[in-house]
Amino acid sequence: MQVFAHFSRLCAFFRGFMKRNIAVLASGNGTNAENIIRYFSSNEYIDVSLVISNRQNAFVLERARALSIPAISYEKDEWSSGKNVLLGLRKYKIDFIVLAGFMIRIPTNILHAYPDKIINIHPSLLPRFGGKGMYGDFVHEAVLAAGEKESGITIHYVNEHYDEGAVIRQIKCPVLSTDTLQTLSQRIHELEYKYYPSVIEELLIGV
Ligand code: GAR
């Protein structure tokens, strides 16, 4: 019995030791951020430890706080140097950074501090409909205007260029002739909710 108790304590110690702390970065509504937080809420190995925004009134901050996740925002000039943001990431012992609707470029010092440890989700099949100014509904509008027959999501590593890091996973869906901005956006969000958390989990613990 005593041996078993020791063994359990040892396992708990190593689980704590191995735990990966994620920061989720988002600029607006934050439905993906909330979905990721909920997905990992009772995960043994992955903890969403921090939510960061570049807008102090972003609704994602409220979502995070309602789920008891620390949530902070940094001003525009803090994103140009990246110094304070990096201090925040270090303070919360962040191992891995997940962008979920985050609309500004990641500062170089953070890219260097987290090589191959920053990922993004984009609501189209990159390289189509990517690049500066292509985010959220603008992407879906462009897809509809181009008369595309399919769209989807791309999960990729982040580098210094918008939407150009190595692709990790793409998932396609049809674009219907009856689609509106709302129906297409909804279909893409459903794909994001279904696949983003499990891709993060695979990258971090290989399940
Ligand atoms: C998501 O669709 C995400 O793919 C997109 O912003 C939306 C955020 O929605 N990201 C980009 O366009 C990045 N270029 P949410 O706030 O409801 O999670």
Domains of the chain: residue spans and CATH:
1-115 (3.40.50.170), 121-153+164-207 (3.40.50.170)
Quick count: other Cβ atoms within 10 Å of Cβ 145?
Answer: 8
Ligand 1 centroid to residue 67 C-alpha, Å: 20
pTM of the complete model:
0.92
Of the listed ranges 45-49, 70-74, 131-135, 190-194, the one predicted with least confidence: 131-135
**Residue owning the nearest CA to atom 11 of ligand 1:** 135
Strand partners, 170: 154
Q: Which of 51, 122, 140 has most ligand 1 atoms within 8 Å of its beta carbon, as the pocket-test mutant?
A: 122
- Mean pLDDT value across the chain: 93
pLDDT of the residue at 87: 98
For residue range 22-40, what is the model confidence (pLDDT) as tens digits?
999 999 999 999 999 999 9
For residue range 167-206, what is the model confidence (pLDDT) as tens digits?
999 999 999 999 999 999 999 999 999 999 999 999 999 8
**Alpha-carbon distance 25 to 1, whole Å?**
45
* Average confidence (pLDDT) over 41-63: 97
For residue range 93-123, what is the model confidence (pLDDT) as tens digits?
999 999 999 999 999 999 999 999 999 999 9
**Alpha-carbon distance 114 to 112, whole Å?**
5
97-111 CB burial, b ≥16 within 10 A, e <16: bbbbbbbeebbeebb
Q: Is the dihedral of CA 192, 194, 195, 199 positive or negative?
A: positive
**Alpha-carbon distance 27 to 78, whole Å?**
15
CB of 32 sitting under 6 A from ligand 1: yes
Using the atom order of ligand 1, give the atom closest to the CA of residue 120: 13
